[in-house]
Structure 1
Amino acid sequence: MLSALAPRFGSLRGLLRFYQPQKVVSVAAASTKTAAQSKHDVSSQASTDPDDNLPQHERWAQINKVFYGPERDMVNYPPPKQCEEAGKVRLGFIPDELFQWLYPKTGVTGPYIFIWGGVAYLLSKEIVVLDHTFSHAIGFVLAVWYLKWKLAPWMSKYFAGRQKRIEERLYLNPIKRGKKGYEVTIQQLEKEIWRQDGQKYLYEAKRENVALQLEAEYRRRLETIYEEVRQRLNYQLEMENAKRRHEQEHMVNWIVSNVVKNITPQQEKESIASCIKNLKQLASVQPAV
Protein backbone atom coordinates (compact mmCIF):
# COMPACT_ATOMS: atom_id res chain seq x y z
CA MET A 1 0.00 0.00 0.00
CA LEU A 2 2.68 2.49 0.96
CA SER A 3 4.68 1.61 -2.15
CA ALA A 4 1.58 2.22 -4.26
CA LEU A 5 0.59 5.49 -2.54
CA ALA A 6 4.04 7.05 -2.27
CA PRO A 7 4.51 7.76 -6.01
CA ARG A 8 1.22 9.67 -6.07
CA PHE A 9 2.74 12.45 -4.00
CA GLY A 10 5.71 12.90 -6.32
CA SER A 11 8.36 10.85 -8.00
CA LEU A 12 11.90 10.34 -6.86
CA ARG A 13 12.82 13.38 -8.91
CA GLY A 14 10.58 15.57 -6.78
CA LEU A 15 12.07 14.16 -3.60
CA LEU A 16 15.61 14.73 -4.80
CA ARG A 17 14.76 18.25 -5.92
CA PHE A 18 14.03 19.34 -2.36
CA TYR A 19 16.88 17.32 -0.90
CA GLN A 20 19.68 19.31 0.63
CA PRO A 21 22.80 17.62 2.01
CA GLN A 22 22.73 17.88 5.77
CA LYS A 23 25.82 18.03 7.93
CA VAL A 24 25.72 16.54 11.39
CA VAL A 25 27.22 19.00 13.81
CA SER A 26 26.51 17.39 17.13
CA VAL A 27 24.35 14.55 18.38
CA ALA A 28 23.94 15.55 21.98
CA ALA A 29 24.12 18.89 23.66
CA ALA A 30 27.78 19.88 23.63
CA SER A 31 29.79 23.00 23.98
CA THR A 32 29.99 25.58 21.19
CA LYS A 33 33.63 24.78 20.58
CA THR A 34 32.94 21.06 20.09
CA ALA A 35 30.03 21.78 17.74
CA ALA A 36 32.08 24.21 15.66
CA GLN A 37 34.98 21.76 15.50
CA SER A 38 32.66 18.94 14.42
CA LYS A 39 31.10 21.14 11.76
CA HIS A 40 34.55 22.12 10.49
CA ASP A 41 35.62 18.47 10.35
CA VAL A 42 32.49 17.41 8.47
CA SER A 43 32.73 20.32 6.02
CA SER A 44 36.41 19.62 5.37
CA GLN A 45 35.64 15.94 4.84
CA ALA A 46 32.80 16.81 2.45
CA SER A 47 34.99 19.20 0.51
CA THR A 48 37.56 16.46 -0.06
CA ASP A 49 34.95 14.12 -1.53
CA PRO A 50 35.93 13.58 -5.20
CA ASP A 51 32.27 13.20 -6.21
CA ASP A 52 31.61 16.86 -5.33
CA ASN A 53 33.82 17.98 -8.19
CA LEU A 54 32.15 15.77 -10.79
CA PRO A 55 29.86 17.28 -13.45
CA GLN A 56 26.15 16.85 -12.90
CA HIS A 57 25.62 14.29 -15.69
CA GLU A 58 28.45 12.08 -14.37
CA ARG A 59 27.05 12.33 -10.84
CA TRP A 60 23.61 11.24 -12.08
CA ALA A 61 25.24 8.39 -13.99
CA GLN A 62 26.85 7.16 -10.77
CA ILE A 63 23.54 7.47 -8.90
CA ASN A 64 21.73 5.48 -11.59
CA LYS A 65 24.49 2.88 -11.47
CA VAL A 66 23.94 2.50 -7.72
CA PHE A 67 20.13 2.39 -7.73
CA TYR A 68 19.62 0.63 -11.08
CA GLY A 69 22.78 -1.43 -11.38
CA PRO A 70 23.04 -5.17 -12.02
CA GLU A 71 22.60 -5.94 -8.30
CA ARG A 72 19.12 -4.40 -8.22
CA ASP A 73 16.29 -6.98 -8.21
CA MET A 74 13.94 -5.46 -10.78
CA VAL A 75 11.48 -8.38 -10.57
CA ASN A 76 10.72 -8.41 -6.85
CA TYR A 77 11.59 -4.78 -6.21
CA PRO A 78 10.74 -2.82 -9.35
CA PRO A 79 11.28 0.94 -9.34
CA PRO A 80 8.16 2.83 -8.23
CA LYS A 81 6.10 4.47 -10.94
CA GLN A 82 3.52 7.18 -10.58
CA CYS A 83 0.01 5.90 -11.27
CA GLU A 84 -2.07 7.81 -13.77
CA GLU A 85 -5.32 6.97 -11.93
CA ALA A 86 -6.27 6.08 -8.38
CA GLY A 87 -6.37 2.41 -7.44
CA LYS A 88 -9.59 0.43 -7.38
CA VAL A 89 -11.48 0.08 -4.11
CA ARG A 90 -14.28 -2.14 -2.85
CA LEU A 91 -17.15 -0.95 -0.66
CA GLY A 92 -15.97 2.61 -1.15
CA PHE A 93 -12.76 2.48 0.89
CA ILE A 94 -11.19 -1.03 0.92
CA PRO A 95 -8.33 -1.41 -1.59
CA ASP A 96 -8.80 -3.99 -4.29
CA GLU A 97 -5.30 -5.34 -3.58
CA LEU A 98 -6.62 -6.85 -0.34
CA PHE A 99 -9.28 -8.81 -2.24
CA GLN A 100 -6.78 -9.94 -4.85
CA TRP A 101 -4.47 -11.12 -2.07
CA LEU A 102 -7.28 -13.10 -0.35
CA TYR A 103 -8.75 -14.68 -3.51
CA PRO A 104 -6.17 -17.51 -3.78
CA LYS A 105 -6.60 -18.32 -0.08
CA THR A 106 -10.33 -17.89 0.55
CA GLY A 107 -11.97 -17.79 -2.87
CA VAL A 108 -14.22 -15.07 -4.30
CA THR A 109 -16.55 -14.75 -1.29
CA GLY A 110 -13.74 -15.03 1.24
CA PRO A 111 -12.97 -11.32 1.58
CA TYR A 112 -16.62 -10.40 2.06
CA ILE A 113 -17.12 -13.19 4.60
CA PHE A 114 -13.94 -12.02 6.35
CA ILE A 115 -15.19 -8.43 6.49
CA TRP A 116 -18.77 -9.11 7.57
CA GLY A 117 -17.64 -11.97 9.78
CA GLY A 118 -15.27 -9.58 11.48
CA VAL A 119 -18.10 -7.12 11.98
CA ALA A 120 -20.29 -9.89 13.41
CA TYR A 121 -17.44 -10.99 15.66
CA LEU A 122 -16.95 -7.47 16.99
CA LEU A 123 -20.69 -7.13 17.66
CA SER A 124 -21.12 -10.61 19.21
CA LYS A 125 -18.19 -10.18 21.57
CA GLU A 126 -19.44 -6.69 22.37
CA ILE A 127 -16.14 -5.22 21.36
CA VAL A 128 -18.30 -2.72 19.50
CA VAL A 129 -21.29 -1.96 21.72
CA LEU A 130 -24.56 -0.94 20.07
CA ASP A 131 -25.65 1.83 22.39
CA HIS A 132 -27.90 4.81 21.80
CA THR A 133 -25.11 6.62 19.83
CA PHE A 134 -24.98 3.91 17.17
CA SER A 135 -27.59 5.81 15.17
CA HIS A 136 -25.09 8.65 14.92
CA ALA A 137 -22.64 6.28 13.27
CA ILE A 138 -25.29 5.19 10.77
CA GLY A 139 -26.09 8.82 10.00
CA PHE A 140 -22.39 9.59 9.69
CA VAL A 141 -21.87 6.72 7.25
CA LEU A 142 -24.88 7.80 5.20
CA ALA A 143 -23.66 11.40 5.18
CA VAL A 144 -20.21 10.34 4.07
CA TRP A 145 -21.71 8.15 1.34
CA TYR A 146 -23.91 11.02 0.16
CA LEU A 147 -21.00 13.46 0.11
CA LYS A 148 -18.92 10.93 -1.76
CA TRP A 149 -21.71 10.42 -4.29
CA LYS A 150 -22.09 14.19 -4.77
CA LEU A 151 -18.55 15.48 -4.34
CA ALA A 152 -16.39 12.57 -5.46
CA PRO A 153 -16.56 13.37 -9.23
CA TRP A 154 -15.80 17.05 -8.62
CA MET A 155 -13.01 16.32 -6.14
CA SER A 156 -11.56 13.68 -8.43
CA LYS A 157 -11.59 16.14 -11.33
CA TYR A 158 -10.10 18.90 -9.16
CA PHE A 159 -7.26 16.79 -7.75
CA ALA A 160 -6.57 15.25 -11.17
CA GLY A 161 -6.27 18.74 -12.65
CA ARG A 162 -4.12 19.85 -9.74
CA GLN A 163 -1.86 16.85 -10.16
CA LYS A 164 -1.67 17.55 -13.90
CA ARG A 165 -0.74 21.19 -13.27
CA ILE A 166 1.92 20.15 -10.77
CA GLU A 167 3.28 17.61 -13.23
CA GLU A 168 3.36 20.21 -16.00
CA ARG A 169 4.98 22.81 -13.76
CA LEU A 170 7.61 20.54 -12.21
CA TYR A 171 8.23 18.01 -14.97
CA LEU A 172 6.74 18.65 -18.42
CA ASN A 173 7.33 22.39 -18.75
CA PRO A 174 11.03 22.15 -17.74
CA ILE A 175 11.44 19.38 -20.30
CA LYS A 176 9.74 21.49 -22.98
CA ARG A 177 11.86 24.51 -22.12
CA GLY A 178 14.96 22.34 -22.12
CA LYS A 179 14.08 20.82 -25.50
CA LYS A 180 13.35 24.25 -26.94
CA GLY A 181 16.62 25.60 -25.62
CA TYR A 182 18.50 22.59 -26.94
CA GLU A 183 16.83 22.98 -30.35
CA VAL A 184 17.90 26.62 -30.48
CA THR A 185 21.40 25.61 -29.43
CA ILE A 186 21.48 22.86 -32.07
CA GLN A 187 20.35 25.33 -34.74
CA GLN A 188 23.03 27.78 -33.68
CA LEU A 189 25.67 25.05 -33.70
CA GLU A 190 24.51 23.80 -37.12
CA LYS A 191 24.72 27.37 -38.42
CA GLU A 192 28.17 27.67 -36.91
CA ILE A 193 29.16 24.37 -38.57
CA TRP A 194 27.85 25.75 -41.87
CA ARG A 195 29.94 28.85 -41.35
CA GLN A 196 32.98 26.77 -40.53
CA ASP A 197 32.41 24.75 -43.72
CA GLY A 198 32.53 28.01 -45.65
CA GLN A 199 35.81 28.95 -44.01
CA LYS A 200 37.75 26.51 -46.18
CA TYR A 201 36.56 28.31 -49.34
CA LEU A 202 37.50 31.61 -47.75
CA TYR A 203 40.91 30.23 -46.86
CA GLU A 204 41.38 28.99 -50.44
CA ALA A 205 40.46 32.43 -51.79
CA LYS A 206 42.87 34.04 -49.34
CA ARG A 207 45.60 31.60 -50.37
CA GLU A 208 44.98 32.45 -54.03
CA ASN A 209 45.12 36.16 -53.24
CA VAL A 210 48.34 35.71 -51.31
CA ALA A 211 49.77 33.62 -54.16
CA LEU A 212 48.84 36.36 -56.66
CA GLN A 213 50.41 38.98 -54.41
CA LEU A 214 53.56 36.88 -54.11
CA GLU A 215 53.66 36.40 -57.88
CA ALA A 216 53.18 40.14 -58.48
CA GLU A 217 55.90 40.96 -55.96
CA TYR A 218 58.19 38.36 -57.54
CA ARG A 219 57.70 39.82 -61.00
CA ARG A 220 58.15 43.37 -59.71
CA ARG A 221 61.42 42.38 -58.12
CA LEU A 222 62.49 40.60 -61.31
CA GLU A 223 61.76 43.78 -63.26
CA THR A 224 63.66 45.82 -60.68
CA ILE A 225 66.65 43.48 -60.95
CA TYR A 226 66.46 43.62 -64.75
CA GLU A 227 66.46 47.43 -64.75
CA GLU A 228 69.30 47.60 -62.24
CA VAL A 229 71.42 45.12 -64.21
CA ARG A 230 70.65 46.90 -67.51
CA GLN A 231 71.62 50.24 -66.04
CA ARG A 232 74.86 48.82 -64.69
CA LEU A 233 75.68 47.17 -68.03
CA ASN A 234 74.88 50.40 -69.88
CA TYR A 235 77.12 52.24 -67.44
CA GLN A 236 79.96 49.80 -68.08
CA LEU A 237 79.39 50.08 -71.84
CA GLU A 238 79.43 53.88 -71.70
CA MET A 239 82.59 53.74 -69.66
CA GLU A 240 84.26 51.49 -72.22
CA ASN A 241 83.08 53.68 -75.12
CA ALA A 242 84.20 56.85 -73.40
CA LYS A 243 87.56 55.29 -72.63
CA ARG A 244 87.95 54.12 -76.21
CA ARG A 245 87.01 57.56 -77.64
CA HIS A 246 89.38 59.25 -75.29
CA GLU A 247 92.18 56.88 -76.29
CA GLN A 248 91.45 57.40 -80.00
CA GLU A 249 91.31 61.17 -79.69
CA HIS A 250 94.46 61.18 -77.62
CA MET A 251 96.24 58.90 -80.13
CA VAL A 252 95.12 61.01 -83.10
CA ASN A 253 96.11 64.23 -81.44
CA TRP A 254 99.44 62.75 -80.40
CA ILE A 255 100.17 61.49 -83.90
CA VAL A 256 99.09 64.74 -85.52
CA SER A 257 101.09 66.81 -83.12
CA ASN A 258 104.18 64.66 -83.62
CA VAL A 259 103.80 64.76 -87.40
CA VAL A 260 103.33 68.51 -87.35
CA LYS A 261 106.37 68.90 -85.16
CA ASN A 262 108.50 66.81 -87.56
CA ILE A 263 107.53 68.86 -90.68
CA THR A 264 110.17 71.52 -91.57
CA PRO A 265 109.33 74.81 -93.27
CA GLN A 266 111.05 73.62 -96.44
CA GLN A 267 108.95 70.45 -96.46
CA GLU A 268 105.87 72.53 -95.85
CA LYS A 269 106.68 74.77 -98.85
CA GLU A 270 107.38 71.75 -101.02
CA SER A 271 104.17 70.12 -99.93
CA ILE A 272 102.20 73.27 -100.70
CA ALA A 273 103.82 73.55 -104.10
CA SER A 274 103.10 69.91 -104.81
CA CYS A 275 99.49 70.39 -103.84
CA ILE A 276 99.15 73.42 -106.10
CA LYS A 277 100.73 71.53 -108.96
CA ASN A 278 98.34 68.62 -108.45
CA LEU A 279 95.41 70.99 -108.40
CA LYS A 280 96.49 72.57 -111.65
CA GLN A 281 96.87 69.19 -113.27
CA LEU A 282 93.43 68.22 -112.12
CA ALA A 283 92.04 71.47 -113.39
CA SER A 284 93.62 70.98 -116.81
CA VAL A 285 92.44 67.44 -117.10
CA GLN A 286 88.83 68.16 -116.07
CA PRO A 287 87.18 70.63 -118.44
CA ALA A 288 85.42 73.57 -116.94
CA VAL A 289 81.71 73.25 -116.70
Structure 2
Amino acid sequence: MLSRCVMRGLQGNKSTAMCLVRLNSDVAASGQRDLVNFPQRVRPIDPAPVRMGIFPEEWFQAFYNKTGVSGPYMALFSIGTFLTSKEYFVVEHDFFVGIGIAVVLAGIIKSTGPGVDAMLEKEITADEEALKSIRQNEIDFLAMSIADEKESQADAIVWEDIIAAKKEAVGLQLEAAYRQRLQDAYVQVKKRLDYQLEVSNVVRRMEQKHMVDWIINNVKSSITPAQEQAALKKCVADLKALA
Protein backbone atom coordinates (compact mmCIF):
# COMPACT_ATOMS: atom_id res chain seq x y z
CA MET A 1 0.00 0.00 0.00
CA LEU A 2 2.84 2.40 0.81
CA SER A 3 4.60 1.76 -2.50
CA ARG A 4 1.38 2.46 -4.40
CA CYS A 5 0.90 5.69 -2.52
CA VAL A 6 4.47 6.77 -3.31
CA MET A 7 4.17 5.94 -7.02
CA ARG A 8 0.87 7.75 -7.32
CA GLY A 9 2.26 10.64 -5.31
CA LEU A 10 5.12 11.00 -7.78
CA GLN A 11 2.51 11.20 -10.53
CA GLY A 12 0.86 14.09 -8.70
CA ASN A 13 -2.29 12.20 -7.69
CA LYS A 14 -4.34 14.05 -5.07
CA SER A 15 -5.99 10.98 -3.51
CA THR A 16 -2.61 9.29 -3.09
CA ALA A 17 -1.20 12.35 -1.36
CA MET A 18 -4.19 12.31 0.99
CA CYS A 19 -3.51 8.63 1.65
CA LEU A 20 0.10 9.38 2.57
CA VAL A 21 -0.99 12.21 4.85
CA ARG A 22 -3.51 9.92 6.58
CA LEU A 23 -0.89 7.21 7.04
CA ASN A 24 1.59 9.72 8.41
CA SER A 25 -0.96 11.20 10.82
CA ASP A 26 -2.04 7.72 11.99
CA VAL A 27 1.55 6.74 12.76
CA ALA A 28 2.16 10.02 14.59
CA ALA A 29 -1.11 9.74 16.56
CA SER A 30 -0.37 6.18 17.64
CA GLY A 31 2.73 7.30 19.52
CA GLN A 32 5.07 5.04 17.52
CA ARG A 33 7.09 7.90 16.02
CA ASP A 34 9.82 9.96 17.67
CA LEU A 35 8.49 13.45 16.99
CA VAL A 36 11.26 15.08 19.04
CA ASN A 37 14.26 13.84 17.06
CA PHE A 38 12.32 13.33 13.84
CA PRO A 39 9.64 16.03 13.60
CA GLN A 40 6.70 15.46 11.34
CA ARG A 41 6.86 17.16 7.96
CA VAL A 42 3.54 18.41 6.69
CA ARG A 43 3.24 17.71 2.99
CA PRO A 44 0.68 19.55 0.88
CA ILE A 45 -2.23 17.43 -0.23
CA ASP A 46 -2.68 19.28 -3.52
CA PRO A 47 0.29 19.37 -5.93
CA ALA A 48 1.79 22.73 -6.88
CA PRO A 49 0.13 24.29 -9.95
CA VAL A 50 1.98 24.12 -13.24
CA ARG A 51 1.67 25.59 -16.72
CA MET A 52 2.11 23.72 -19.95
CA GLY A 53 2.19 20.55 -17.89
CA ILE A 54 5.82 20.91 -16.75
CA PHE A 55 6.63 24.51 -15.73
CA PRO A 56 5.79 25.50 -12.11
CA GLU A 57 3.48 28.45 -11.61
CA GLU A 58 5.90 30.10 -9.21
CA TRP A 59 8.42 30.57 -12.03
CA PHE A 60 5.90 32.66 -13.94
CA GLN A 61 5.02 34.63 -10.80
CA ALA A 62 8.72 35.47 -10.33
CA PHE A 63 8.87 36.99 -13.84
CA TYR A 64 5.76 39.16 -13.41
CA ASN A 65 7.38 41.75 -11.15
CA LYS A 66 10.27 42.30 -13.62
CA THR A 67 8.98 41.58 -17.11
CA GLY A 68 5.20 41.55 -16.90
CA VAL A 69 2.83 38.88 -18.09
CA SER A 70 4.61 38.08 -21.36
CA GLY A 71 8.05 37.82 -19.80
CA PRO A 72 7.99 34.07 -18.96
CA TYR A 73 6.85 33.15 -22.46
CA MET A 74 9.50 35.35 -24.07
CA ALA A 75 12.14 33.79 -21.83
CA LEU A 76 11.05 30.31 -22.85
CA PHE A 77 11.03 31.30 -26.52
CA SER A 78 14.44 32.93 -26.24
CA ILE A 79 16.00 30.01 -24.43
CA GLY A 80 14.45 27.56 -26.93
CA THR A 81 15.76 29.63 -29.86
CA PHE A 82 19.23 29.74 -28.29
CA LEU A 83 19.32 25.97 -27.65
CA THR A 84 18.10 25.26 -31.19
CA SER A 85 20.45 27.73 -32.92
CA LYS A 86 23.49 26.39 -31.09
CA GLU A 87 22.30 22.84 -31.77
CA TYR A 88 22.20 22.00 -28.09
CA PHE A 89 18.67 20.85 -28.89
CA VAL A 90 18.66 19.11 -32.28
CA VAL A 91 15.33 19.02 -34.12
CA GLU A 92 15.21 15.77 -36.04
CA HIS A 93 12.66 13.11 -36.81
CA ASP A 94 12.81 11.75 -33.23
CA PHE A 95 11.62 15.13 -31.97
CA PHE A 96 8.42 14.91 -33.99
CA VAL A 97 8.00 11.27 -33.01
CA GLY A 98 8.31 12.36 -29.37
CA ILE A 99 5.67 15.03 -29.93
CA GLY A 100 3.35 12.39 -31.40
CA ILE A 101 4.05 10.00 -28.53
CA ALA A 102 3.41 12.81 -26.02
CA VAL A 103 0.09 13.65 -27.67
CA VAL A 104 -0.94 9.98 -27.73
CA LEU A 105 0.07 9.48 -24.10
CA ALA A 106 -1.77 12.63 -23.08
CA GLY A 107 -4.90 11.39 -24.83
CA ILE A 108 -4.61 7.98 -23.15
CA ILE A 109 -4.09 9.58 -19.76
CA LYS A 110 -7.07 11.90 -20.25
CA SER A 111 -9.34 9.08 -21.39
CA THR A 112 -8.27 6.26 -19.08
CA GLY A 113 -6.81 8.24 -16.19
CA PRO A 114 -10.05 8.77 -14.17
CA GLY A 115 -10.99 5.07 -14.39
CA VAL A 116 -7.50 3.92 -13.35
CA ASP A 117 -7.47 6.53 -10.60
CA ALA A 118 -10.85 5.31 -9.29
CA MET A 119 -9.68 1.69 -9.42
CA LEU A 120 -6.44 2.48 -7.58
CA GLU A 121 -8.32 4.63 -5.10
CA LYS A 122 -10.72 1.78 -4.46
CA GLU A 123 -7.83 -0.64 -3.90
CA ILE A 124 -6.06 1.79 -1.59
CA THR A 125 -9.29 2.38 0.33
CA ALA A 126 -9.81 -1.38 0.66
CA ASP A 127 -6.21 -1.86 1.84
CA GLU A 128 -6.59 1.05 4.25
CA GLU A 129 -9.85 -0.37 5.62
CA ALA A 130 -8.19 -3.79 6.03
CA LEU A 131 -5.28 -2.25 7.92
CA LYS A 132 -7.65 -0.18 10.05
CA SER A 133 -9.68 -3.32 10.72
CA ILE A 134 -6.55 -5.16 11.86
CA ARG A 135 -5.59 -2.20 14.03
CA GLN A 136 -9.11 -1.88 15.45
CA ASN A 137 -9.29 -5.62 16.14
CA GLU A 138 -6.00 -5.42 18.00
CA ILE A 139 -7.25 -2.39 19.93
CA ASP A 140 -10.48 -4.22 20.81
CA PHE A 141 -8.52 -7.31 21.88
CA LEU A 142 -6.20 -5.24 24.06
CA ALA A 143 -9.17 -3.33 25.50
CA MET A 144 -10.84 -6.65 26.32
CA SER A 145 -7.62 -7.87 27.92
CA ILE A 146 -7.44 -4.69 29.98
CA ALA A 147 -11.06 -5.14 31.05
CA ASP A 148 -10.38 -8.78 32.02
CA GLU A 149 -7.30 -7.70 33.97
CA LYS A 150 -9.27 -5.02 35.79
CA GLU A 151 -11.96 -7.59 36.57
CA SER A 152 -9.32 -9.98 37.88
CA GLN A 153 -7.87 -7.21 40.03
CA ALA A 154 -11.35 -6.38 41.29
CA ASP A 155 -11.89 -10.07 42.10
CA ALA A 156 -8.59 -10.13 43.99
CA ILE A 157 -9.66 -7.08 45.98
CA VAL A 158 -13.02 -8.74 46.67
CA TRP A 159 -11.20 -11.83 47.97
CA GLU A 160 -9.35 -9.58 50.39
CA ASP A 161 -12.68 -8.18 51.58
CA ILE A 162 -14.09 -11.72 51.88
CA ILE A 163 -11.08 -12.84 53.92
CA ALA A 164 -11.44 -9.76 56.15
CA ALA A 165 -15.18 -10.51 56.58
CA LYS A 166 -14.41 -14.13 57.47
CA LYS A 167 -11.82 -12.99 60.00
CA GLU A 168 -14.38 -10.61 61.47
CA ALA A 169 -16.98 -13.40 61.57
CA VAL A 170 -14.50 -15.67 63.39
CA GLY A 171 -13.78 -12.85 65.82
CA LEU A 172 -17.50 -12.41 66.45
CA GLN A 173 -17.86 -16.15 67.03
CA LEU A 174 -14.98 -16.06 69.52
CA GLU A 175 -16.56 -13.05 71.19
CA ALA A 176 -19.92 -14.87 71.38
CA ALA A 177 -18.25 -17.99 72.82
CA TYR A 178 -16.40 -15.83 75.38
CA ARG A 179 -19.60 -14.06 76.41
CA GLN A 180 -21.43 -17.41 76.61
CA ARG A 181 -18.75 -18.74 78.93
CA LEU A 182 -18.98 -15.58 81.03
CA GLN A 183 -22.74 -16.10 81.22
CA ASP A 184 -22.26 -19.75 82.23
CA ALA A 185 -19.76 -18.75 84.91
CA TYR A 186 -22.16 -16.07 86.16
CA VAL A 187 -25.06 -18.57 86.30
CA GLN A 188 -22.97 -21.16 88.15
CA VAL A 189 -21.66 -18.60 90.66
CA LYS A 190 -25.17 -17.23 91.16
CA LYS A 191 -26.50 -20.74 91.79
CA ARG A 192 -23.84 -21.36 94.43
CA LEU A 193 -24.47 -18.02 96.07
CA ASP A 194 -28.22 -18.67 96.03
CA TYR A 195 -27.56 -22.06 97.60
CA GLN A 196 -25.49 -20.50 100.37
CA LEU A 197 -28.17 -17.84 100.91
CA GLU A 198 -30.90 -20.49 101.05
CA VAL A 199 -28.84 -22.56 103.50
CA SER A 200 -28.36 -19.55 105.78
CA ASN A 201 -32.10 -18.73 105.55
CA VAL A 202 -33.04 -22.31 106.43
CA VAL A 203 -30.65 -22.29 109.39
CA ARG A 204 -32.10 -18.97 110.55
CA ARG A 205 -35.71 -20.24 110.22
CA MET A 206 -34.85 -23.40 112.14
CA GLU A 207 -33.20 -21.40 114.86
CA GLN A 208 -36.19 -19.05 115.08
CA LYS A 209 -38.63 -21.99 115.17
CA HIS A 210 -36.57 -23.75 117.81
CA MET A 211 -36.40 -20.57 119.89
CA VAL A 212 -40.18 -20.00 119.58
CA ASP A 213 -40.96 -23.60 120.49
CA TRP A 214 -38.56 -23.46 123.44
CA ILE A 215 -40.15 -20.25 124.77
CA ILE A 216 -43.71 -21.57 124.30
CA ASN A 217 -42.86 -24.84 126.01
CA ASN A 218 -41.22 -23.04 128.91
CA VAL A 219 -44.20 -20.71 129.25
CA LYS A 220 -46.63 -23.62 129.16
CA SER A 221 -44.64 -25.50 131.71
CA SER A 222 -44.54 -22.47 134.03
CA ILE A 223 -48.37 -21.98 133.99
CA THR A 224 -50.29 -23.88 136.77
CA PRO A 225 -53.81 -25.31 136.33
CA ALA A 226 -55.21 -22.66 138.69
CA GLN A 227 -53.62 -19.85 136.64
CA GLU A 228 -54.93 -21.44 133.49
CA GLN A 229 -58.45 -21.67 135.01
CA ALA A 230 -58.33 -18.04 136.14
CA ALA A 231 -57.13 -16.89 132.76
CA LEU A 232 -59.93 -18.80 131.07
CA LYS A 233 -62.53 -17.22 133.34
CA LYS A 234 -61.04 -13.80 132.69
CA CYS A 235 -61.31 -14.38 128.96
CA VAL A 236 -64.93 -15.47 129.23
CA ALA A 237 -65.72 -12.38 131.29
CA ASP A 238 -64.07 -10.16 128.78
CA LEU A 239 -66.05 -11.80 125.98
CA LYS A 240 -69.28 -11.25 127.86
CA ALA A 241 -68.34 -7.64 128.45
CA LEU A 242 -67.63 -7.19 124.85
CA ALA A 243 -70.92 -8.83 123.88
TM-score norm. by structure 1 comes to 0.43
Say which structure is richer in helix.
2
